[in-house]
Structure 1
Amino acid sequence: MTNFTFDVGLLNPLSHGTRESELTSDQAWLQAMVDAELALTRALVDAELAPEWMLAVCDALADARQFDLRAIAAEARNGGNPVIPFVKHLGRAAERVRAGASDHLHVGATSQDILDTAAMIVARKVICELIHQLDSFGADLADLADEHRGTVMSGRTLGQQASPTSFGFVAAGWLDAVLLIVTRLEGIRDSLPVQLGGAVGNLSVLTEIGRARRSETPASEVLDTVLERFADHVGLVVPRLSWHTNRVVISELASVLAAATGVAGTFALDVSVLSRNEIAEVSERLAPGQGGSSAMPHKRNPVSAVLITAAALQTPGLASTLYGSMLAEDQRPSGAWHAEWQSLRVLERLTISAVTGAASLVARLDVDPDRMRANLDLTDGLVFSERVTTILAETVGKTTAFALVERASQEAFATNRPLQVVLASILITEGCSDELRAQIWAAFDYEGQPGQSAAGIDRVVRAFRQRSDAAARRARAANSTDMVEGDDAKVGAPARSNNARSNNARSNNDVRTA
């Protein structure tokens, strides 16, 4: 029997149907490394530090599938990182395209420059996918919040029924978290930097090359061009300084990824709780064959919610490792940088799976308003204790009111009688006026929005939809720009600069994936 070693997600069923593997696989990382190396070479051409003919070589080398991924991975053991063997494979391929081409690859860079830049390229694509999925997740949550703003249910604290709320308000709470994390993701996406510093971060090699090949121009200007064009070619930003041991970029990325998974996980955990048989207020709409058990034929498990929660439970440890890697000594660390690679990738994978799973789950969420109302009735009015205490306190004072309602609640629980009836009897004994007793009796009513639920729902839904409308306008504007450029090209208009083309391509990619 042939022994195949491969990973198809056997222990990660949530990944199926997502872009997790596409965006974070070894092949995706190799492509990002290719993109980083060739972007550097193109930047050297832009700065007149490499010959123009290298652009054609770059075009020929652009597809990472031509490189032996398995061989590069195996050879990485010798040097401790995959860039070392990759540069050799890239150089040999370049020489096959044109003799002398390898001289203009990996110029002035070190392994960490390429792998860090590749990590940022991958991270940007991951974040764009997360924003896309969160937008879908949020749109369905906004609809739920609107539709169920008047659907009363029990608010629960510490696992117990507390006071009435509405399912729309609960959905708005989930939506508010989505809106917050999308905003953070957009900020991180637009600030991810390239890495280029050379061996100890001070660009000494590129400085010497700039002086030798562009002696008429200050080296600082030449290097500025290289950095700006390098960043532009890969859709990243120029950092103030190389960040070989300043890993705030990674820790902030880890934080927002873990938080995004936590947002999805909190929603999923709530769904798991609310779908318990004894609660049954919501349920995951299951297709034939889903939610079953290997032993119990009757089971209808909330499988998506369970797997999303599991993903969220794994992320704090990964984020902790990435925070720990901030302790990076000297100008290039021994071990801290290396510890980031797998931790970051697994964190990205779990986040994609969790957020994509949440977007799918909310679209298949069945809500049972009748069951929510029935569960409220289980307490015989005890869920109104806070409300009637507040009303009573306006007449008899807060301390007296609390004591009266507490006494009535204990008696109602002990005798299995409705709180409304017990409290009415106590108020008669206490000599309260008919008007006050009538007011308290009327307070045991589910109608009307508790507190400021309606206003809160409106604020969150409005903010989310305003953001969605703005994103749609940006997309239309970008598409309009594409059409104009296409017409210009057809009539022989002057070609735009490489910088303009790169910016436009980056913008279009953001619109399509975000």
Structure 2
Amino acid sequence: MPEALGTDFGLLSPLDAGTRAAALTGDRAWLQALVDTELALTRSLVAAGLAPDWMFPVCDALTDAATLDLAAIAAAGRGGGNPVIPLVKHLAAAAERQYPGASDHIHVGATSQDILDTAAMLVGSRVAAEVHAQLAGFAGALAGLARDHRDTVMAGRTLGQQASPTSFGFVAAGWLDAVLAASARLESVTVGLPVQFGGAVGNLSVLTEIARTRRASDRAHADRAHTDNIVHDVLRDFAGRLGLAVPSLAWHTNRLPVTDLGSALAAAIGVVGSFALDVSVLSRTEIAELSERLGAGEGGSSAMPHKRNPVTAVLVVAAARQAPGLLATLYGSLLTEDQRPSGAWHAEWPPLRELERLAVAAATGAASLADRLDVDAERMRGNLDLTDGLIFSERVTTVLAEALGKTTAFGLVQRASEEAFLTHRPLQIVLSGMLSAEGADESLRARAWAAFDYAGDLGQSGAGIDRVLARHGAGTLLTTVDTARISRP
């Protein structure tokens, strides 16, 4: 039977396959977050004595958003400009079927933006938990590479050219360091994601009036402080039930929570994308120092039978190239007017969801790629010979500078490098001849010759690797984020 027009199977998002991206960011996930938000608010009203106790079992019966007509709610969203308005009608009708009068206690004191913004933070927290989990696995794989290859010498490259020797372990430690930083940043943002609850113009006037009238009997003369405490209790309980933070004020026009979340996700995407780009470059036929271990049917071409493309690396890079433009839209929504803006918060929904989808898919893809990365140490060693010793020019210049001075040593090695390049002779031989011709003593010539040793000192590479590994080993990445959120719809 043909599928309904508009059904998205991820045809143009192959990196999503096998990940939780769709489950965490799709329409059903968003509808569930909206329902979770509405019911958390109602439960908080009950807990504060502003709604009857029998609403607890009513809420329990309405928990599963799959019982609602998603297609109908989505279609009706056009009428009011957002899906919350039709959702409230569907949820209220379902509540009435459970208990007459129950609809009176759904969506009390809130506006559509309260519910949608809070749902966005809820989806964001669930996405962040999954991204954290994937980054933790990714970091573990990178730590293994840094540890296992701390002495695997390779060509360090700058501006696309061989520069000076380094180790693959040091390169992997650089990737790991960036992952740890991005993960910490995402965690810091996630624990501060706030609920949104302000009512029509952000001052909770409806909830304040309800608290004053429905709890007036608590005191003979209910004072303002008592009412304010009740309102704060509702807000605090509302946030607690969703695992979100309590804001100082409603943030209808302060869109920093969204841009902060988007920025942290974009940073994570960029970090894993940089790793994947390095893998893609080092997988080139003429370099061939790394390769992605491919499964049956992976990495092929429709035209060239021999191809073994680093397909995961390519897709992760593609995800990273999309993130900056999406983030720019979120920053554009910082421009807001009045107490609730027209179009700013609406414009955030698609790019935020896409950033979340990309973050889950890219982090999952990068973790998988790191686990399947084949390192060709012999090829790395062989590629050091491509420049006939020019790659050691910095090292030998440093050795000579101690005896000749920096400027003289640099000029000497530069002349020797030019001659070596033009005559296709090893720099080691050319430089040794120049030193002899200039009357350098045997000790200096020996030290210069030894500078071309592949097992030579790599500076602080080992110490740097140890610092990053210690940082990684100090604790897991999921220290503060509620890991239980990973399993939520």
User: TM-score, structure 1 length as denominator?
Assistant: 0.92
**For 2:311, which of 303, 310, 315 is the aligned residue?**
303
Shift of 1:328: 1.1
Q: Which amino acid aligns with 1:187?
A: S
CA distance in 1, matches of 2:157, 2:456: 19
Matching of residue 461 in structure 1 with residue 469 in structure 2: yes
CA distance in 2, matches of 1:449, 1:466: 28
In structure 2, the partner of 1:65 is 66
**What percent identity do the matched residue pairs reach?**
65
Matching of residue 244 in structure 1 with residue 245 in structure 2: no
Deviates more, 1:213-222 or 1:164-173: 213-222
Matching of residue 82 in structure 1 with residue 57 in structure 2: no
Matching of residue 324 in structure 1 with residue 332 in structure 2: yes
The answer on whether the counterparts of 2:126 and 2:486 sit within 8 Å (CA) in structure 1 is no
- C-alpha deviations, 1:93-137, integer Å up to 9, x for none? 000000000000100000000000000110000000000000000
1:155 alignment partner, SS class:
strand
In structure 1, the partner of 2:207 is 206
2:474 alignment partner, SS class:
helix
In structure 1, the partner of 2:423 is 415
Q: Which amino acid aligns with 1:22?
A: A
2:339 alignment partner, SS class:
coil
Shift of 1:467: 1.7
2:384 alignment partner, SS class:
helix
**For 1:271, which of 261, 271, 279 is the aligned residue?**
279
- C-alpha deviations, 1:221-256, integer Å up to 9, x for none? 000110010001111010000000000111111111
Q: Which amino acid aligns with 2:407?
A: T
The answer on whether the counterparts of 2:127 and 2:486 sit within 8 Å (CA) in structure 1 is no
CA distance in 2, matches of 1:328, 1:291: 46
The answer on whether the counterparts of 2:146 and 2:173 sit within 8 Å (CA) in structure 1 is yes
The answer on whether the counterparts of 1:412 and 1:419 sit within 8 Å (CA) in structure 2 is yes
CA distance in 2, matches of 1:227, 1:438: 75
In structure 1, the partner of 2:347 is 339
The answer on whether the counterparts of 2:130 and 2:486 sit within 8 Å (CA) in structure 1 is no
CA distance in 2, matches of 1:100, 1:274: 66
Q: Compared with structure 1, are the counterparts of its residues 32 and 511 closer, same or farther at alpha carbon in structure 2 (3 Å cutoff)?
A: closer
In structure 2, the partner of 1:390 is 398
In structure 2, the partner of 1:509 is 484
CA distance in 2, matches of 1:33, 1:455: 49
Unpaired runs of 5+ residues, structure 2, are none
1:107 alignment partner, SS class:
coil
Q: Which amino acid aligns with 1:358?
A: A
Q: Compared with structure 1, are the counterparts of its residues 507 and 322 closer, same or farther at alpha carbon in structure 2 (3 Å cutoff)?
A: closer
Matching of residue 357 in structure 1 with residue 358 in structure 2: no
In structure 1, the partner of 2:8 is 7
In structure 2, the partner of 1:158 is 159
In structure 2, the partner of 1:481 is none
Q: Which amino acid aligns with 2:364?
A: T
Report runs of 4+ in structure 1 exceeding 3 Å deviation.
510-513
Shift of 1:512: 7.0
The answer on whether the counterparts of 1:198 and 1:205 sit within 8 Å (CA) in structure 2 is yes
1:377 alignment partner, SS class:
coil
CA distance in 2, matches of 1:402, 1:117: 61
Q: Compared with structure 1, are the counterparts of its residues 283 and 384 closer, same or farther at alpha carbon in structure 2 (3 Å cutoff)?
A: same
Shift of 1:511: 8.4
Shift of 1:3: 5.9
Matching of residue 19 in structure 1 with residue 27 in structure 2: no
1:366 alignment partner, SS class:
strand
In structure 2, the partner of 1:223 is 231
CA distance in 2, matches of 1:335, 1:445: 64
- C-alpha deviations, 1:58-109, integer Å up to 9, x for none? 0000000000000000000000000000000000000000000000010000
**CA RMSD, Structure 1 to Structure 2 (Å):** 1.4
The answer on whether the counterparts of 1:327 and 1:336 sit within 8 Å (CA) in structure 2 is yes
- C-alpha deviations, 1:295-348, integer Å up to 9, x for none? 000100000000000000000000000010010111111111100001100110
In structure 2, the partner of 1:52 is 53
Shift of 1:448: 4.1
Shift of 1:381: 0.6
Q: Which structure carries more relative contact order (alpha carbon 8 Å, separation 6+)?
A: 2
Shift of 1:4: 2.4
In structure 2, the partner of 1:503 is none
CA distance in 1, matches of 2:3, 2:462: 61
Q: Which amino acid aligns with 2:390?
A: L
The answer on whether the counterparts of 1:166 and 1:449 sit within 8 Å (CA) in structure 2 is no
In structure 2, the partner of 1:493 is none
The answer on whether the counterparts of 2:76 and 2:83 sit within 8 Å (CA) in structure 1 is yes
The answer on whether the counterparts of 2:333 and 2:345 sit within 8 Å (CA) in structure 1 is yes
Shift of 1:449: 4.2
Q: Which amino acid aligns with 1:285?
A: R
1:417 alignment partner, SS class:
coil
